[in-house]
Amino acid sequence: MSRILIAGCGYVGTALARELAGLGQDVFALRRAVGVEIPGVSWISADLLRRESLENLPADLDFVVYTAAAGGSSEKAYRRAYVDGARNLLAALGSQGQELRRIFFTSSTGVYGQNAGEWVDEESPTEPRRPTGRILLEAERVFLDSPWPATILRLGGIYGPDRTRLIEQVRHGEAYLGTASPLYTNRIHRDDCAGALAHLMTVPDPQPTYLGVDQEPVLKSEVRNWIAGHLDLPPVPRDADQAVTGKRCRNTRLIESGYELRYPTFRDGYRDLLDPSPAVGRL
């Protein structure tokens, strides 16, 4: 049994807590407000931005997973969540003499600046166009430079239960932006975010970075039209006839580590959301 702290335990972190507890691990979930009761999960009420609230973390931790999310899209919100909060937590862990086996940080494919349909992987240049991407890169370095081994999981666009905005946009005819260029998107289901993190804890010597995306980078228009067809709605009008934008992310490293996606493509994941079954894809 491993002792695992999930810091900033929100959408992905709560799914991970359920998964790890189901595997018999000793799980501690940290957030400002205590979450829903999960058998085998101990909640810790603390604020990553208040170092004094982190003084009594559980002892003898094996793994820490930092899954905090920014409270907004501003540079200030990103820096507080991903850099300031990370430094506070690492300082608290160090002051307690924790001897972690590994610390994980959920970053984003937003650290890549490629925007003409290029394929990218973990070795591709990270030259983000947006300040928020540069802040995420800074946060990655905070973890990689910590006293403990660290692994970064760069997640694509996360969807899943309670994150169905695209479905509702298609349902209500709001999914088409008439002047938009064709855009490649990279997605990952919430359950695969959790599954990949749990899996990487079992890898003897994981790499410093992994891309957490499904098997099929796809034009956003294709996703919209697939959803429209599933809802028996007319096809969504095409994007403007312009050069393609976005990037295509490869998940080869994650798959070769032994992880098997539960939702290999957007079709698998959105089908489960549109036709939910209690026996499928539930953590």
pLDDT in tens, 130-144: 999 999 999 999 999
The pLDDT score that the predictor gives to residue 279 is 44
N-to-C CA span, the chain: 19
The CATH code of the domain at 3-274 is 3.40.50.720
CB 81 within 8 A of CB 69: yes
Res. 242 pLDDT band, cuts 50 70 90: confident
Angle CA(192)–CA(140)–CA(27) in degrees, nearest 5?
50
Q: How does DSSP classify residue 110?
A: G
- Asked if the model's pLDDT at residue 108 lies above 90, the reply is yes
SS3 assignment, position 136: helix
Give mean pLDDT, residues 90-115: 98
Starting at the edge strand that comes first in sequence, how are the strands of the sheet with 245-249 ordered? 118-120, 245-249, 183-185, 218-219
Ordered by start, the domain boundaries in the chain are 3-274
pLDDT band at 278 (very low <50, low <70, confident <90, very high): low
pLDDT for position 280: 43
* Confidence band for 30, pLDDT divided at 50, 70 and 90: very high
**Tokens 């925007």 identify what position?**
115
For residues 24-47, give the mean pLDDT.
Answer: 95
Task: Give me the percent of the chain exceeding a pLDDT of 70.
Answer: 95
